[in-house]
Amino acid sequence: MQDLTVIPASNAATLPAAPMTLRHWIGGAWVDSTDGATSERRSPAHGVSVSIAAKAGRAEAEAAIAAARAAFDAGGWSRSSGKDRATLLLKVAELIDRDRQAIARQEVLESGKPITQALAEIEGGADLWRYAAALARTMHGDSHNSLGPDMLGLVLKEPIGVVSLICPWNFPFLIVSQKLPFALAAGCTAVIKPSELTPGTTVMLGGLLEEAGLPAGVCNIVLGYGDPVGEVLSTDARVDMVSFTGSTGVGKRITAAASATLKKVSLELGGKNPQVIFPDADLDQAADAIAFGVYFNAGECCNSGSRIIVHEDVAEALTEKVVALSRRVPFGDPLDPRTQVGAIISPEHLAKIDGYVRGAVAAGARVALGGGALEVGGLGAQFYQPTIVTDVRPEMPIATEEVFGPVLSVLTFRTLDQAIALANDAAYGLSAGVWSSDVSTCLDFARRVQAGTVWTNTWMDGFAELPFGGFKQSGQGRELGRYGIEEFLEVKTVQMRIGQTRGAWVA
C-alpha cells in the first residue's frame, strides 16, 4: 500500500442491529408506496444493510406535488409573515443541533464518509437554517417615489410557488439545507427527492420539520429514483421551479424536461477545479490545502481541487510535498474519529475512478502515488488509494473531466497567461484557486478565471453569507447568501396612481 495511513475496522464501532425504515412524507403523513416497493441501502464501508426505503412511482410523486400545490395556493405558508417563517426555521436549527449525532451517524452509514466530517456538515446545515431565518425577516421589495407627484411604483418580491428539490448523495444533509430553508424562507412549498443511495438523513429532517410544526403539505419527501420520480418532478405543470444538484449530464436532461412548461431551473453541477501555484507561493501551505482539496469527502465533491497547475520551477518540489502529505492522510473506517477519508459510494463509481487513472497511464501519464483500490482490514476494498498523476497533458480526460474521486492531476505552466488558459480549458467553471504572495497576481487571476468562486491562498472555505454556483457547464443560478433566497422569488411591479387621474386618452 506504498506506506499509506490506513485505519482498519474499529472494534469500538457499533453497527446498527437493523436497518432504518424510511417512508415518504406526503401532505403531512408518513406513507409507504402504494405498490409496496422498497429499496435497500447497504453501507459502502461496512457492507451491512443500513436503510430500507419506500420506493416511489409516479403516483407518489404526483401526490406530493398535489399536496405542495394545495398548501401553497391555500396561502397559510406562502402569505405568512417573515417573522413566523423565521421562528419555525430557527426551531428546526435547534432540533438539528439536538439530533446532530444521530443524523451524522446515519449519513456515515449510507455514504461512507468519516464521522468527524459528517458531524461538521450537520453543524453547517444548522447554520444555514439560521441564516435563512434571518433572510426571511429581512427580505423586501422596493419603492419608487420619483415617478411624478401622482405615481408610486412598488416592486414586490413573492414566492415563486411549488419547487422540486432534487439532491445528490455526496452531501445529502448539507445540500438539502442549501436549498430547503431558503425556499421556505421565501414562502415556497417543496417536494424533495433525495438520492436513492442516501435517503436517511432527509427523512430524519422531515421528522424534525414535523416536530417543529411545519404545516402539512408545505414540505414533502418522495423517495425513489430519477426514473420516474425525478422525471415527474421536472415535468409536472404544477411545479414552478426545479432546483437540482448533481452531474452535468443529468442537469442537461432536467433542463430539457422542464422546457415544455418553461419552469425555472436552478442547477449546481460538476466541476474540474484548478489550483494554480506560482513560484512565490508558500509551498507548504499550498501542499496541505491541495491534499485537503482532493481527499476531502474522498474527492466525491463538486468543489474538489482535482487538478493543480503549478509553475515549472516549483512543480517537482510541490509534488514531492503533496505525495509526502498524502501518505499521512488516514483512509479507512468512517466510524473511527481518526479517519479523514472513507469509502467510495459504490463499486460502480470506484470502477469509474479507476478507469480515468488507467486511461491516463495508457496515454503517457505517470502515477506518482496510489492508482488502485485500497484494501482496509475488516472492511474490504470499496476504498480508493490517494492517487497523484503527473505528466498530465491538457487534452487528457483526467485533466478536463470530473473524476469525482481522490485523484489529483498535475499540470505545469510557464507564464501567467498560460496558467489562466489552462485553468479555463474545461467545460466547467465552478471554482478555482490561486497561490501567490503577490496580491496583484491573485487579483489578476481572480478577475480572468472563469469560475463562480475563487479562493486565494486557501481552498474550500465556505460561509452562508457568500453565494455559491458556477459558470459554464457547472450550472446556473446561485445558492447561499442573499442570492439563495432570490432564486425562489418572483419580482412583481405595481404602479399606483395616487393623485389626479391622467388626462383622457379619448377626447
* The dihedral sign for the CA sequence 159, 162, 165, 166: negative
By the 10 Å C-beta count (0-12 exposed, 13-18 middle, 19+ buried), 363 is classed as middle
Question: What letters, b where the CB count within 10 A reaches 16 and e where it falls short, cover 29-40?
Answer: eeebbeeeebbe
Alpha carbons 60 and 67: distance in angstroms, whole number: 11
Q: What is the biggest distance separating any 2 CA atoms in the chain, rounded to whole angstroms?
A: 93
Find out whether 167 and 125 touch, Cβ atoms under 8 Å: no
Q: Which residues are CB-contacts of 479 (< 8 A; sequence separation ≥ 6)? A: 178, 179, 182, 266, 268, 467, 468, 469, 487
Instruction: Check 107, 110, 121, 268 and give the catalytic one.
Output: 268
How far, in whole angstroms, is CA 184 from its chain's centroid? 18
Question: What letters, b where the CB count within 10 A reaches 16 and e where it falls short, cover 199-219?
Answer: bbbbbbbbebbeebebebbbb
Q: Is 107 a catalytic site residue? A: no
Find out whether 120 and 354 touch, Cβ atoms under 8 Å: no
Alpha carbons 266 and 268: distance in angstroms, whole number: 7
Alpha carbons 315 and 276: distance in angstroms, whole number: 11
Q: Which residues are CB-contacts of 281 (< 8 A; sequence separation ≥ 6)? A: 314, 435, 436, 437, 457
Q: Is 268 a catalytic site residue? A: yes
Alpha carbons 36 and 445: distance in angstroms, whole number: 55
Instruction: Check 110, 302, 442, 487 and give the catalytic one.
Output: 302
Return the DSSP state at 226. I
Alpha carbons 334 and 378: distance in angstroms, whole number: 12
Q: List the catalytic residues.
A: 268, 302
